[in-house]
Structure 1
Amino acid sequence: MRFDIITVLPGLLESPFAHSILQRAQKKGIAEIHVHNLRDYSTHKQKSVDDYPYGGGGGMVMNIEPFAACIDQLKSEREYDEVIFMSPDGVTLNQQIANQLSIKENIIILCGHYKGIDQRIRDIYVTREMSIGDYVLSGGELPAAVLVDAVVRLIPGVLSDETSALSDSFQGDLLDAPLYTRPADWNGHKVPDVLLSGNAAEIEKWRFEQALERTRTRRPDLLK
């Protein structure tokens, strides 16, 4: 799976992709993550990529030409399943969307900045607009990193225990059940007996009941 991320701040994405699961996925050759500096596609002498908005108002708007030039070049080299724009007014990312995207092959992610990007890029090129929550960040770089992390960990071969991703919170619209490890008794706080019983059927039943109760208490909206 290949991700091409277009941003005006490529340095901001160096660390998230250089550690842990994302680093391992790239070393295994399971995922490719390429970050493209939008300024490399600017035709302006100062490599600017923004201008004042038509109609007035505060803030600057990112130009259409650099985005179009970068996207067109990438599309000339391979076919893309999605061109995703990270935007606070997009559809909120959830586990089901991450599952859907994990079976794609090539994805472009656009990171906005300033006040936003020229609407024509959104109209002509973008296939999905995605948000990570109802709040505004300084740019789309951190949301892009969140999206890539959520998707890559689902690709077969990335996690050492592939069944782990299938039991995560939000898989099956339920939060995860409580988790415990050694010691079984810590200062009088004990692990539930059922988890020590070795009875797989009873343990699964307990976990489902706990997940259901936790979801009902914390996220009842998921049960609708």
Structure 2
Amino acid sequence: MKILLVDDHAVVRMGLKVLLNAVPDMEVVGEASEGDEGIKMALDLLPSIVLMDLSMPHGKDGLSATSELKKQLPDTEILILTMHDDEEYLFRAIQAGASGCVLKSAPHQELIDAIKTVCSGNAYLHPAATRRLMDQYLGNLKQDQQDLFQLLSDREKEVLTLIAKGYANKDIGEKLVISVKTVETHKSNLMEKLQMKTRPELVAYALKKGLLGYGI
């Protein structure tokens, strides 16, 4: 694994070089102190992975350099090194094309594992970031479901509840005093609004929303 270090602190680069060169199959092939220099060296050295500092006050910063480098060397992996334990920086790094993010405060073994993971073609996020990403994803999913439910009319919610209780279209029509064709229209609208395709999906959704008096 040929590694290029891009960090504005010479002491940090020295420490990383000593650490990584002691690992079998890893070799630091170059060092750069800012983004533009890092891009130039990467084009010359063609490293397997670039360890990119996120915050570099002089020259191109880590995010800009990552984005530019991925355009020119799409097969080169980039692992962001940062002091910021913040999902905003994480999202921006991923959007820029980075394959992962490691805190500078992380143990040495975590950094080594992260490099191996990224070089094998997988993404790497430090554990705290992974937890926050999962929480945010689940939160967004829950919010999306709540928003979709709000799109339903009162009549559609009634039809959904009766579908979940196992009533056939004809029975639903009799209970609500509407035609079978109208029931089918409501059912079609339900599926479209909730982005579902089958009756079992509607039943499962109704259960989760507690429309039968209990949720799962």
* Bigger strand share: 1
Higher relative contact order (CA 8 A, sep 6+): 1
Task: Name the structure where helix makes up a greater proportion of residues.
Answer: 2
TM score, norm. by length of structure 2: 0.31
